[in-house]
Structure 1
């Protein structure tokens, strides 16, 4: 092989390549050549700082995952990748602008500050206490490293400080709050005359000729869409688990493995936490001397412990098993006898004195009690391992086959059939947009191929093919005439209600009183509680013009099957207590809105003045 390399190095092709490299070096320089291999590519530069391609692609992946999680039926093909990339890049540019602004203002968090924030986050706690293991697992679950998460926290926290500072500067004139509160508390006096579809039934009629005419003018509305009858195979992890035979020996082995877990020991600890420092040893010695003198551990915890939450409970931390506390704390706790107090134990939180208050062990269930549960658990585990393998086999077999019978027989699966699947979907699993789109693709619909294997749910995959295609069909008048009649009747009813209401409004405005129906009166009716009123009537009553010159305002409102004539007789201004809690709440709400507007304007200013180069 070495000789082949030497021979090729002397060939004409090799000499040409070397010549091109020499020309490149002479024109662009060594840095240009080496930089292309060693430099990290960037997608944009913001005020001289790069947004790297790695950061961009990772954020695109995270954003795509989040959009899929928000879907009822996650389907990657429904995500607009170009839009995601565009949105992510703009978001990263905005983030860079805000981060640089925070740095310019000297804002930042120390490592100790980050540590303190992380320890306070409930998602990183077990039984109310910070768990390093929970922290690491949670961060990994979102696809981030610990250092990357800490850097993200540092950026977000300082930018939020600026946002909070600007948002709190929003100013609102007291009169604005008073005006809004007065409108909110306003009440109105009015009468309502209600009309129903029955009141105009004698004015509504739809003839057969009208139905036929509507059908002819709107034939396109009365078409049965194209449909397919399909065959499909469903592969699910759950169904796969039901076919797996788990032996008694496997169940017994799993029970024996879990025996120690079932008999889990939990220890109830109390502690006194002292901050590490120059005076820590002296404080610890004093506490130990007072304990030896017979003083209560709980009272000393309340006096000395800097863990103020547990100190109020005499240092009580409750029951916990292994894997919850810091390793040094755990080793000391599980080495104690009941009632014993440890020597000083140093952790990242400080120095502890630990008391073992109690020990409890859970009872071990019998094998017979757990056999069924363990058998199902083992079947699910084996199915999970088998599912990926069978899924790949089904995907390959369906891709190469001219039907579904062969792949189904090969893998012991069932071919099912469904009729009448439209482009808008059908019954499950054809309620999945991605599967339906595959069924109506040209290759499947016209080429006669099977669909790709589509994941329609958690560990559920489907492959399908078209059995029969049905062209769009024009529905006959006899098929749809009752639907048309109902549509025309509803339209005519609404028109009749409107005409009747207009007539009644005219009668009232002329100074007469309508003979029809009975009035409902509402005095000092507020906006919030409709009560016996329909919401659309209440909304109309508060949208009407104020009465003028001693004359009431009159108007009507019409819905699909009801109408109302409204006579507005008076408007009562809402009470405003400038010293009350309601006024303060409205003022605070308006100030928050104004502060948010100011922050958005500030954010836009930073973005507009930034030097951004997109690559």
Structure 2
């Protein structure tokens, strides 16, 4: 079974599909994995926990990606508590699915070599400069997030192990040429139509809206007339960025900081090594004897690269004479890493080293000693860091004083603003779903709409908007949620009912026209009475453009044999009648187009297969969700 999985996951098709899946893992989820310890569990999957911290990281990463892609439109949705909870639940479901796949991969005995981990790191764009892996960037990003190379390697091992099973699942999906051709023909089919649109407005003259109609509509849609609770806030902001603007950093402070923190600018020693790998196979003793025999040949002067090409089980590096390029401490398997960094000079060769992947013979081919970045290259970075540190110190000092004053003088924010040498701002009335920036955060809204602030009209305590910004707020005005009286909405209801009845009357008129056409009766007088004329549209595609969307959908539901025409309601409030006159079949797709179509359909099928597999695992799993 494992062999079939590995075989099915090696083709170029599989690599294209799985690449789409892997991009969602790295780098977005790295923080959640590496820092998942601690905190209560959001869910437990077959005895393994998914921590609240893991969920929060994954939620923030997914939300950031969506906001970057869709902009303010999606950002406004997250101001809705209901949407946010639904979104968070969907993220948790994804994490549960990933955990199930991970567990199944380990159950099947799937593993990842150090070489695969290293290659993945080298290819990750997050660690590249100008398309080439940059160790400084690699170390810097990990250090910035508080991760060690070993932690990151462990994270990748989990992700890539899971990827093997994911790849095997998705690579099994395919689409027959006949299926792709049929789908293409349907997708590219166009239609000719005869149609007209009749305005509902003239029919409104004969429409009567009674008081009973208005009352019944009001009662049936009573919740639609509920207003949302609104508040108007006064607020004071304090941020590190604002404080930084007034901070000057002396040159001697920069030089001293550099000396005190020189370790941050040290580039770790790098070593370029080659190796020969002999996997354990079925006879570990035999593998060790083979490795020792090869080591003896190396010590007798045999060419290391030639032996690697002929004997190494690491086929990728073997093609390059066993070359693994440059490695940094903690990048490889611990035993391999220890042996490689114990070699003293270029050309030195290790003994036979055992790792979980087999026996290695390691040769040091190039050595880059530890180096220190000079002050001139990091002066601006240090100056900014010092300014940030000083501003942060002021930030915490000022916010504590502001909190004291906000509590001691709860009826005004004026003195709170004076401490920060800023001014009191106002929001104007807003609802929970229309909160203005920067107060559109869940914790700020929770405090703003709390009974304490609304009823007692006191200053709030410190509200953390983000890691470097806090706010103090108070409610200036409050409008509670209520149901509008009928008198307030009567005019709007009457207009809505009149439009609905007018459209229904226009629809009935159009249905009469359609029935007469079905009976081969003359309809010109009917059309003239409403100033309507037939229009034609040729080669209408499913994407539309020539006709209204509803008309396009109706056109592609018609049949020349049994149902050539149909009345359709338009979103404008008018009514249309669409008659199918001709079906234009698509031409035979060329080979390139057919291949693209097959790939697209196979990708869709692979996604269904993956989800079905996860659903099957979930059905047999013990999953406990600890959040609402």
Q: TM-score, normalised by structure 2?
A: 0.61
Question: What is aligned with 1:590?
Answer: 601
**1:526 is matched with which residue: 541, 553, 563?**
541
In structure 2, the CA distance between the partners of 1:534 and 1:383, relative to structure 1 (3 Å rule), is: same
**How far 1:401 moved relative to its partner?**
3.6
**How far 1:444 moved relative to its partner?**
1.4
**How far 1:346 moved relative to its partner?**
9.3
- Separation in structure 2 between the aligned mates of residue 466 and residue 456 of structure 1, nearest angstrom: 17
The residue matched to 1:218 in structure 2 has which SS? Answer: helix
- Separation in structure 1 between the aligned mates of residue 573 and residue 165 of structure 2, nearest angstrom: 54
Equivalent pair of 2:185/2:586 in contact (CA under 8 Å): yes
Deviations 1:226-283 (A, max 9, x none): 54443322223344345x363xxx4555798999xxxxxxxxxxxxx99568889998
In structure 2, the CA distance between the partners of 1:384 and 1:495, relative to structure 1 (3 Å rule), is: farther
- Separation in structure 1 between the aligned mates of residue 135 and residue 239 of structure 2, nearest angstrom: 36
What is the aligned-residue RMSD (CA, Å)?
Answer: 5.4
- Separation in structure 2 between the aligned mates of residue 85 and residue 410 of structure 1, nearest angstrom: 38
- Separation in structure 2 between the aligned mates of residue 74 and residue 145 of structure 1, nearest angstrom: 36
Question: What is aligned with 1:535?
Answer: 549
Deviations 1:132-154 (A, max 9, x none): 33223333555544333222222
Equivalent pair of 2:190/2:583 in contact (CA under 8 Å): yes
Deviations 1:70-90 (A, max 9, x none): 673899996999999988887
The alignment status of 1:385 with 2:393, answered yes or no, reads yes
**How far 1:454 moved relative to its partner?**
2.5
Return 555-564 or 85-94, whichever deviates more.
85-94
**1:351 is matched with which residue: 344, 350, 365?**
365
Deviations 1:382-424 (A, max 9, x none): 4343223323332343245422234334443423445434454
**How far 1:191 moved relative to its partner?**
0.9
**1:414 is matched with which residue: 401, 407, 423?**
423
Equivalent pair of 2:201/2:502 in contact (CA under 8 Å): yes
Question: What is aligned with 2:496?
Answer: 487
Question: What is aligned with 1:299?
Answer: none
The alignment status of 1:394 with 2:405, answered yes or no, reads no
Deviations 1:514-538 (A, max 9, x none): 344333223343324x343223322
- Separation in structure 1 between the aligned mates of residue 538 and residue 79 of structure 2, nearest angstrom: 57
The residue matched to 1:176 in structure 2 has which SS? Answer: helix
**How far 1:568 moved relative to its partner?**
1.0
1:458-607 paired onto structure 2 within 5 Å: 459-470=468-479, 483-484=492-493, 486-488=495-497, 490-511=499-520, 512-514=522-524, 515=528, 516-528=531-543, 530-548=544-562, 552-577=564-589, 580-607=591-618
The residue matched to 1:543 in structure 2 has which SS? Answer: coil
1:306-345 paired onto structure 2 within 5 Å: none
**How far 1:183 moved relative to its partner?**
1.6
Deviations 1:167-187 (A, max 9, x none): 222354554334323322322
**How far 1:110 moved relative to its partner?**
1.9
Question: Structure 2, unaligned stretches of length 5 or more?
Answer: 1-38, 68-74, 259-271, 277-296, 306-318, 330-344, 350-361, 369-373
Question: What is aligned with 2:461?
Answer: 452
- Separation in structure 1 between the aligned mates of residue 403 and residue 226 of structure 2, nearest angstrom: 36
The alignment status of 1:440 with 2:440, answered yes or no, reads no
In structure 2, the CA distance between the partners of 1:518 and 1:352, relative to structure 1 (3 Å rule), is: farther
Equivalent pair of 1:212/1:477 in contact (CA under 8 Å): no
Question: What is aligned with 2:140?
Answer: 137
In structure 2, the CA distance between the partners of 1:147 and 1:185, relative to structure 1 (3 Å rule), is: same
The residue matched to 1:545 in structure 2 has which SS? Answer: coil
Question: Structure 1, unaligned stretches of length 5 or more?
Answer: 1-39, 260-272, 286-303, 311-323, 328-342, 355-360
**How far 1:435 moved relative to its partner?**
2.8
1:40-119 paired onto structure 2 within 5 Å: 51=48, 56=51, 58-66=53-61, 69=64, 72=75, 95=98, 97-119=100-122
- Separation in structure 2 between the aligned mates of residue 80 and residue 536 of structure 1, nearest angstrom: 29
- Separation in structure 2 between the aligned mates of residue 461 and residue 86 of structure 1, nearest angstrom: 28
The residue matched to 2:513 in structure 1 has which SS? Answer: helix
Equivalent pair of 2:558/2:564 in contact (CA under 8 Å): no
In structure 2, the CA distance between the partners of 1:212 and 1:396, relative to structure 1 (3 Å rule), is: farther
In structure 2, the CA distance between the partners of 1:113 and 1:241, relative to structure 1 (3 Å rule), is: closer
Equivalent pair of 1:139/1:145 in contact (CA under 8 Å): yes
Question: What is aligned with 1:203?
Answer: 203
**How far 1:570 moved relative to its partner?**
2.6
Question: What is aligned with 1:233?
Answer: 236
Question: What is aligned with 1:170?
Answer: 173
**How far 1:443 moved relative to its partner?**
1.4
Return 424-433 or 461-470, whichever deviates more.
424-433
- Separation in structure 1 between the aligned mates of residue 363 and residue 496 of structure 2, nearest angstrom: 73
Equivalent pair of 1:211/1:485 in contact (CA under 8 Å): no
The residue matched to 1:150 in structure 2 has which SS? Answer: helix
Deviations 1:193-232 (A, max 9, x none): 233x4xx433324999869974896396667655444332
Deviations 1:351-408 (A, max 9, x none): 3599xxxxxx9x99xx9xx9xx999997666434322332333234324542223433
- Separation in structure 2 between the aligned mates of residue 475 and residue 85 of structure 1, nearest angstrom: 33
The alignment status of 1:122 with 2:125, answered yes or no, reads yes
The residue matched to 2:456 in structure 1 has which SS? Answer: coil
- Separation in structure 2 between the aligned mates of residue 79 and residue 142 of structure 1, nearest angstrom: 31
1:239-258 paired onto structure 2 within 5 Å: 239-242=242-245, 244=246, 246=248, 250=249, 253=252
**How far 1:495 moved relative to its partner?**
3.1
Question: What is aligned with 1:33?
Answer: none
In structure 2, the CA distance between the partners of 1:79 and 1:119, relative to structure 1 (3 Å rule), is: farther
Question: What is aligned with 1:160?
Answer: 163
Which of these two proteins has the greater Rg computed from alpha carbons?
Answer: 1
- Separation in structure 2 between the aligned mates of residue 144 and residue 523 of structure 1, nearest angstrom: 62
Equivalent pair of 2:347/2:363 in contact (CA under 8 Å): no
**How far 1:41 moved relative to its partner?**
11
Equivalent pair of 1:497/1:558 in contact (CA under 8 Å): no
Equivalent pair of 1:74/1:457 in contact (CA under 8 Å): no
- Separation in structure 1 between the aligned mates of residue 241 and residue 545 of structure 2, nearest angstrom: 50
- Separation in structure 2 between the aligned mates of residue 480 and residue 76 of structure 1, nearest angstrom: 27
1:172-187 paired onto structure 2 within 5 Å: 172-187=175-190
